């Protein structure tokens, strides 16, 4: 098996055809086809199914593609490590972040990061979609809320303070809940999986979860906030989403005495990216710039606090927000 054959295979999968891969690599289609067949012969498995209409990847081909991406990333990291002591960081960094948080907190940092590292090309996707870091080739993702069980590495960046609130019109019509136990009598606007699992509040020093229901479930906090402003019900959202509405009086805070625990903000990345200098630099940059803004969100850590969040760790045994 030749290393260049791995590059050709990855390019073929990513472009979707032998012709497109050949154009991308400035090779002939016949040469690309021969190298793919040579790779399959050396591995003893069929990676691609070729016919006159389309190119399909086999199940083993999918598995090899994931491993091939790791191999190429390791080679890239090794090359960068050998040169980073005498040259600036370079290469492409693919980053995912939630839409609302990305617009308000990450986007303002991008210009400064690229100014410090002008040879880096940043591919930033702002979306509430839960991306597959390894399968889709992401280097790092910023994720809000508890993490799912995985082999990814997580570094705690901070915590996002949560605020329960409703519009003055809703509170005038329905009254304000005196305690979290009263929420079952109210229309609650649910934010993603966190909302569907119930709302957590602090009662007598312990955290308790309360079942809630209402007319809206959305995976975007801005949509939930707008519904709350319109008087549709009570929302429990990160402070950065509702702070402007609270300042203007469009929303009013409730249940302040019961201090919902903050939502954790983590930088998550594949294990094979631990040594990538560009990935490390981006995470350190974001952590440093956001530390002051997110510090308040860590004042009331969850009762079952994770181990030292300043150290990278594997995410395991946690639920998706």
Instruction: Return d(Cα 248, Cα 296) in angstroms, integer.
Output: 21
Within 8 A by CB and 6+ apart from 69, the residues are: 10, 134, 137
pLDDT for residue 91: 84
Instruction: Return d(Cα 232, Cα 218) in angstroms, integer.
Output: 13
Angle between helices 18-25 and 29-43 (to 10 degrees): 110
Q: What is the mean pLDDT of each run of 10 residues along the chain (321 residues)?
A: 83 86 84 88 87 79 88 75 62 91 91 91 90 87 82 86 96 95 94 74 88 91 95 95 96 93 89 76 90 56 33 38 31
What's the whole-model pTM score?
A: 0.62
pLDDT for residue 132: 86
pLDDT for residue 315: 43
pLDDT for residue 83: 58
CB atoms within 10 A of CB 175: 11
Query: DSSP letters of 148-214?
Result: PS-S-EEEEEEEE-EEEEE-HHHHHHH---SSGGGGGGS-EEEEHHHHHT-EEEEETTEEEEE----
């Amino acid at each position: 098996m030749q290393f260049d054959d791995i590059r050709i295979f990855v390019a073929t999968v990513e472009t979707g055809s032998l012709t497109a891969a050949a154009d991308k690599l400035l090779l002939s289609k016949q040469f690309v086809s021969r190298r793919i067949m040579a790779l399959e012969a050396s591995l003893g498995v069929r990676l691609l199914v070729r016919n006159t209409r389309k190119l399909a990847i086999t199940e083993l081909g999918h598995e090899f593609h994931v491993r091939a991406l790791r191999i190429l990333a390791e080679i890239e990291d090794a090359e960068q490590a050998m040169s980073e002591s005498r040259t600036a960081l370079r290469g492409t960094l693919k980053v995912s972040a939630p839409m609302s948080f990305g617009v308000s907190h990450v986007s303002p940092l991008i210009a400064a990061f690229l100014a410090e590292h002008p040879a880096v090309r940043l591919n930033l996707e702002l979306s509430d979609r839960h991306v597959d870091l390894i399968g889709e080739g992401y280097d790092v993702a910023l994720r809000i809320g508890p993490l799912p069980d995985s082999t990814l590495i997580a570094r705690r960046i901070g915590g996002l303070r949560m605020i329960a609130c409703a519009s003055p019109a809703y509170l005038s019509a329905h009254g304000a809940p005196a305690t979290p136990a009263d929420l079952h009598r109210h229309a609650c606007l649910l934010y993603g999986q966190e909302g569907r699992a119930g709302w957590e509040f602090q009662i007598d020093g312990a955290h308790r979860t309360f079942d809630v229901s209402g007319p809206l479930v959305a995976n975007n906090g801005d949509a939930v906030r707008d519904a709350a402003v319109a008087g549709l019900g009570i929302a429990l959202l990160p402070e950065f989403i509702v702070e402007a509405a609270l300042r203007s009086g469009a929303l009013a805070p409730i249940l302040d005495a019961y201090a919902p625990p903050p939502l954790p903000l983590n930088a998550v990345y594949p294990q094979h990216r631990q040594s990538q200098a560009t990935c490390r630099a981006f995470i350190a940059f974001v952590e440093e710039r956001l530390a002051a803004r997110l510090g308040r969100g860590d004042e009331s850590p969850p009762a079952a606090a994770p181990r030292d969040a300043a150290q990278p760790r594997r995410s395991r045994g946690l639920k998706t927000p």
